[in-house]
């Protein structure tokens, strides 16, 4: 086993243990923990079988296969940013509606006091 394989295996193991610990301590919800577990399994697989990169490069017609993990990582980050923006927009709508309901309730309370 080569040094990069050992390093990626250790990193995947550390990520997996960290995710398990964070889910157990309620620092991370189970749904997100599952996503991160899949990522750590991907890192572990890629660490044990680096030749998969060359096979994917040949199949996809990519002349420089080491760029594949960067492209995949960049795509995952873009998707994560999009999902985070969608969730933030939903939360903002919910917050605005709650503020409006609170204002209506305060108005009702103030009118009933008079």
pLDDT tens by residue, 80-97? 899 999 999 999 999 999
Highest mean pLDDT: which range of 8-17, 41-50, 82-91:
82-91
pLDDT of residue 85: 95
Between CA 16 and CA 32 the distance in angstroms is 13
- Whole-number pLDDT of residue 46: 81
Q: What is the DSSP string of 36-47?
A: HHHHHHHHHHHH
Give the tokens for residue 25.
């301590």
User: Per residue in 49-86, pLDDT tens?
Assistant: 888 888 989 998 988 988 888 898 899 899 989 999 99
pLDDT at residue 114 above 80? no
């Amino acid at each position: 086993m080569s040094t990069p394989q050992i390093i990626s295996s250790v990193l995947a193991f550390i990520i997996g243990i960290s995710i398990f610990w964070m889910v157990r301590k309620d620092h991370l919800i189970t749904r997100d923990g599952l996503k991160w577990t899949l990522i750590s399994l991907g890192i572990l697989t890629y660490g044990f079988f680096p030749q998969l990169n060359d096979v994917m490069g040949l199949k996809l017609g990519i002349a420089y296969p080491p760029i594949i993990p960067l492209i995949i990582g960049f795509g995952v980050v873009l998707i994560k940013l999009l999902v985070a923006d969608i969730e933030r927009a939903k939360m903002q709508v919910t917050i605005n509606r709650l503020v409006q309901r609170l204002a209506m309730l305060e108005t009702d309370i103030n009118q009933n006091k008079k």
